Amino acid sequence: MSSPPFERLPPFEHQDTAPPTSPVVISVPHAGRDYPLSLKTALRVPLAALLPLEDRLVDAVARSARTDQAMIIQRRARAWIDLNRGEDERDAQLDEGARSIPPAQQSAKLRSGLGLVPRRVSGAGDLWARRFTDAEVTARIVDDHRPYHAAIAAALQAAYARFGVAVLLDVHSMPPLGPGGTRIVLGDRFGHAAAPRFVDRAETVCTAHGFSVARNTPYAGGHILERHARPDLGIHAIQLELDRTIYLDRKLHAPGAGFARVVDMVGAMLAGLADEALSTPLAAAAE
Distance between CA atoms of residues 209 and 211, nearest Å:
6
Report the mean per-residue pLDDT for the chain: 93
Model pLDDT for residues 155-183, shown as the tens digit of each residue: 999 999 999 999 999 999 999 998 878 99
Q: What is the pLDDT, as a whole number, of residue 107?
A: 86
Examine the pLDDT at 285 and tell me if it is beyond 50.
Answer: no
Distance between CA atoms of residues 29 and 32, nearest Å:
7
Q: What is the pLDDT, as a whole number, of residue 174?
A: 96
Give the N- to C-terminal CA distance of the chain in Å, as an integer: 45
> Cis peptide leading into 11, omega within 30 of 0?
no
pLDDT band at 283 (very low <50, low <70, confident <90, very high): low
pTM of the model as a whole: 0.93
Q: What mean pLDDT is predicted for residues 232-257? A: 97
Q: Which residues contact 115 (CB under 8 A, 6 or more apart)?
A: 82, 85, 89, 90, 91, 94, 95, 107, 109
Model pLDDT for residues 256-271, shown as the tens digit of each residue: 999 999 999 999 999 9
CB-neighbour burial class of residue 102 (10 A; exposed 0-12, middle 13-18, buried 19+): exposed
Q: What is the pLDDT, as a whole number, of residue 274?
A: 98
Distance between CA atoms of residues 82 and 117, nearest Å:
6
Model pLDDT for residues 61-107, shown as the tens digit of each residue: 999 999 999 999 999 999 999 999 999 999 999 999 998 888 888 88
Q: Using the 8-state DSSP alphabet, how is residue 54 labeled?
A: S
Q: What mean pLDDT is predicted for residues 190-200? A: 98
β 235-243/184-187 pair status: antiparallel
Residue 37 CA from chain centroid, whole number? 24
Give me the residue spans of the domains in the chain. Answer: 6-286
Nearest Cα neighbor of 173 from 260, 55, 79 is 55
Examine the pLDDT at 4 and tell me if it is beyond 70.
Answer: no
CATH topology of domain 6-286: Aminopeptidase (3.40.630)
CB-neighbour burial class of residue 186 (10 A; exposed 0-12, middle 13-18, buried 19+): buried
Lowest mean pLDDT among 5-9, 33-37, 100-104: 5-9
The alpha carbons of the chain give a radius of gyration, in whole angstroms, of 19
Distance between CA atoms of residues 220 and 237, nearest Å:
11
> Cis peptide leading into 218, omega within 30 of 0?
yes
Q: What is the pLDDT, as a whole number, of residue 251?
A: 94
